[in-house]
Chains A and B, each alone.
Chain A
Amino acid sequence: EAAVTQSPRNKVAVTGGKVTLSCNQTNNHNNMYWYRQDTGHGLRLIHYSYGAGSTEKGDIPDGYKASRPSQENFSLILELATPSQTSVYFCASGQGDERLFFGHGTKLSVL
């Protein structure tokens, strides 16, 4: 079974601070994704990547940056965190078999 690991599992940040959410996958998948989950909105795509060195904007990229330094790792960066970015963030990977494998999520609270 594909494995996607996110860290940290929980994070409390201050407004204006920098936050980095990390994701690691051990399945050699080309594609990786960052979603946020909010009640009433489902899962919304923030950024995604087709491979090391590439990042693409998703549906709600404003206020977020992404970095894919290697096949295994995909980070989501909030340079200046705001309370509206309080959410649960999911990383996912996938390739060729038509489904996504999700991590367990990171609960971020921006105070």
Chain B
Amino acid sequence: GDSVTQTEGLVTLTKGLPVMLNCTYQTTYSPFLFWYVQHLNEAPKLLLKSSTDNKRTEHQGFYATLHKSSSSFHLQKSSVQLSDSALYFCALSEGGSALGRLHFGAGTQLIVIP
């Protein structure tokens, strides 16, 4: 079945450094991937989405590229800020449809320190 793996449970970084949060997936369909971000005591919100192979998608300084060859959709930012501290979820839409049920990874907690 469809699944998503996020290998880092916790990432702690100093402000201004680059970050990459890993996301790999398994599906037999054409993948549709999402990144959601959840700040403390808030609801998860969509950060990025993509279904296009090898095309970089960007939002709010974050970017990710879907690589079907390696089944990956890693989230990156060149310079993290204190406000980026949050829980980040990678998600895969089931069955290759943008409207399918979402399968979420376990999440990566990003903590940015001064």
* A residues in contact (CB < 8 Å) with B: 4, 31, 33, 35, 40-45, 48, 58, 90, 94-96, 98-105
Contact = CB atoms under 8 A, between A and B. Distances in A.
Given A31-B99, A42-B89, A100-B46, 5 more contacts: A42-B105, A42-B107, A43-B91, A99-B46, A104-B43
Nearest to B32: A98
Nearest to A98: B98
Interface string B32-74: 1010100001111110010000000000000000000000000
Which 10 residue pairs across A and B have the least CB separation, nearest first?
A102-B43, A98-B98, A42-B104, A43-B104, A99-B46, A42-B106, A42-B107, A102-B44, A104-B43, A42-B105
Interface of B: 6, 9, 32, 34, 36, 41-46, 49, 89, 91, 98-99, 101-102, 104-107
Nearest to B108: A42
Given A40-B9, A90-B43, A102-B43, A58 B34 contact: no
A45 B99 contact: no
Contacts of B42: 104
